[in-house]
DNA sequence: AAAGCGCCCAACCGCCAGCCT
DNA sequence: GAGGCTGGCGGTTGGGCGCTT
């Protein structure tokens, strides 16, 4: 009957991931591809719940994740999409392939919610002035048309931003992980896939660099690598990797033979969605047909 | 210098739809 | 078909950090 439990509740480690754990997880996924999370703790020896492994991968280690400040375009897009979709962060994240739903959710809760609150209280905010406040005095029909226009503009901006990305040859030359190409090949996506993996490689390289530095500096000082680590995260965020090419490749990492399912479902689907969106030439300003098939959330539409 | 406060964000929790046995 | 697990999702939490007093 059914399946065995995904993991033992006992002996499962919680809390921040250490760089060592990250490396183990990344190595495993490099070899086997993402998916079958239940097998990950068993096969890697990680004392983590399968759920925790999946979350760590999708929210932090997955290729193509962009970290740091949100651009104005991204911000506006999030606001528009939140108005349309409500708090469906995964759906919203599908239009921002470089951002995780968790990041968007956090950004909304910590920044945008406050901004909108201010707006509702009558304050002005120049970054949103072309967004919400301008909707306040117009009819719903006008608002929808304006919204389509803004989404179209955001689409253009995003398209331009993506087209500006150049092939990351320097990272390809690095080959920090054997078989990294095959992982990207799993994803039948736009040309950005190479870059997205490279950017992740950069993240992981930084992480590795920090970890190697820590472990060489203080091989007997575990607290610096595991405690200081809430650090796994801190290492990546704070270290400046000016010369990643000095990194040694990880040994024992094989290419993924048959790219399993995907590199995190959140990666494949969003890109195809985005691609559809970007390539949809029928979406023109003022053309209400064929746009996002989304109805207004009454609550959020009321904001405008 | 240090205590207090607020912000940020990684990670956990609980729920649910879909899938597997 | 039923029971139960998996994977995905949104909400929430709490530790770390920086700023202010």
In this complex, the answer to whether residue A5 has its CB under 7 A from any atom of chain C, a nucleic strand, is yes
In this complex, the answer to whether residue A4 has its CB under 7 A from any atom of chain B, a nucleic strand, is no
pLDDT tens for A50-85 read 889 999 998 888 888 888 888 888 888 998 888 888
8 A C-beta contact, residue A82 and residue A301: no
The backbone region for A209, taken as left when phi is positive above 0, alpha when psi lies in -120 to 50, beta otherwise, is alpha
Q: How many CB atoms lie within 10 A of CB A212?
A: 15
CA of A73 to C1' of C2 (A): 49
Spatial separation of the C-alpha atoms in residues A158 and A120, rounded to whole Å: 28
Task: Give the pLDDT of residue A215.
Answer: 46
pLDDT tens for A80-125 read 888 888 889 989 998 888 899 999 999 998 888 877 777 766 654 4
Phi and psi at residue A225, to the nearest 5°:
-100, -25
Taking each helix axis as running N to C, give the angle between helix A192-217 and helix A19-32, from 0 to 180 degrees, rounded to the nearest 10: 140
Whether the model clears a pTM of 0.75, i.e. scores above it, the answer is: no
Spatial separation of the C-alpha atoms in residues A203 and A237, rounded to whole Å: 9
Residue A232 to residues A210, A224, A253, A280: CA-CA distances in angstroms?
A: 9, 11, 21, 40
Spatial separation of the C-alpha atoms in residues A269 and A168, rounded to whole Å: 23
Per cent of chain A over pLDDT 70 is: 36
Query: Which of A304, A218, A237, A303 minimizes the C-alpha distance to A67?
Result: A237
Which residue in the block uniquely carries the two structure tokens 């650090």?
A: A231
Which CA-bearing residue is nearest the C1' of C17?
A234
The answer for residues whose C-beta is within 8 angstroms of residue A152's C-beta and 6 or more apart is A283, A284, A285
In this complex, the answer to whether residue A94 has its CB under 7 A from any atom of chain B, a nucleic strand, is no
**Which residues share a beta bridge with A177?**
A250
**With b meaning 16 or more CB within 10 Å and e meaning fewer, what string describes A61-84?**
bbbbbbeeebeebbbbbbbbbbbb
Spatial separation of the C-alpha atoms in residues A159 and A73, rounded to whole Å: 11
| Strand B contact residues in chain A (135-194), C-beta within 7 Å | none
Tokens of A120: 């509702």
Which CA-bearing residue is nearest the C1' of C2?
A1
Query: Can you give the pLDDT of all 304 residues of chain A as single tens digits?
Result: 433 444 555 678 888 899 889 999 988 888 888 878 888 888 888 888 888 999 999 888 888 888 888 888 888 899 888 888 888 998 999 888 889 999 999 999 888 887 777 776 665 444 444 444 344 444 445 545 555 555 565 556 555 544 544 333 333 333 333 333 333 333 333 333 333 333 444 555 555 555 444 444 443 333 333 333 333 333 333 333 333 333 333 333 333 333 333 333 333 333 444 444 444 433 333 333 333 444 344 434 333 3
In terms of Cβ atoms closer than 10 Å to its own Cβ (0-12, 13-18, 19+), residue A137 is: exposed
């Amino acid at each position: 009957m059914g399946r065995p439990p995904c993991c033992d509740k006992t002996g499962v480690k919680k809390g921040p991931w250490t760089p060592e754990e990250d490396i183990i997880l990344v190595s495993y996924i490099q070899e086997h591809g993402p998916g079958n999370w239940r097998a990950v703790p068993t096969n890697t020896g990680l004392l983590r719940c399968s759920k925790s492994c999946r979350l760590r991968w999708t929210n932090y280690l997955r290729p193509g994740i962009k970290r740091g400040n949100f651009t104005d375009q991204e911000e506006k897009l999030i606001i528009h999409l939140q108005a349309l979709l409500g708090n469906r962060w995964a759906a919203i994240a599908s239009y921002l392939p470089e951002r995780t739903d968790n990041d968007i959710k956090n950004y909304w809760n910590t920044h945008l919610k406050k901004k909108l609150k201010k707006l509702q209280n009558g304050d002005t905010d120049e970054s949103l002035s072309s967004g919400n406040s301008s909707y306040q005095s117009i009819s719903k029909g006008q608002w929808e048309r304006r919204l389509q226009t803004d989404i179209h503009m955001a689409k253009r901006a995003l398209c331009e931003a993506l087209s500006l990305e150049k092939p990351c040859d320097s990272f390809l030359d690095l080959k920090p992980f054997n078989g990294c190409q095959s992982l990207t090949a799993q994803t039948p996506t736009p040309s950005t896939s190479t870059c997205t993996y490279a950017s992740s490689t950069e993240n992981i390289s930084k992480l590795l660099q920090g970890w190697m530095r820590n472990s060489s500096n203080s091989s007997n000082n575990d607290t610096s690598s595991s405690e200081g680590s809430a650090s796994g995260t801190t290492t990546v965020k704070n270290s400046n990797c000016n010369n990643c090419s000095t990194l040694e490749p990880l040994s024992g990492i094989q290419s993924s033979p048959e790219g399993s399912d995907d590199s995190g479902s959140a990666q494949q689907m969003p890109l195809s969605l985005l691609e559809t969106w970007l390539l949809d030439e029928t979406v023109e300003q003022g053309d209400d047909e064929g746009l996002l098939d989304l109805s207004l959330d009454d609550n959020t539409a009321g904001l405008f």
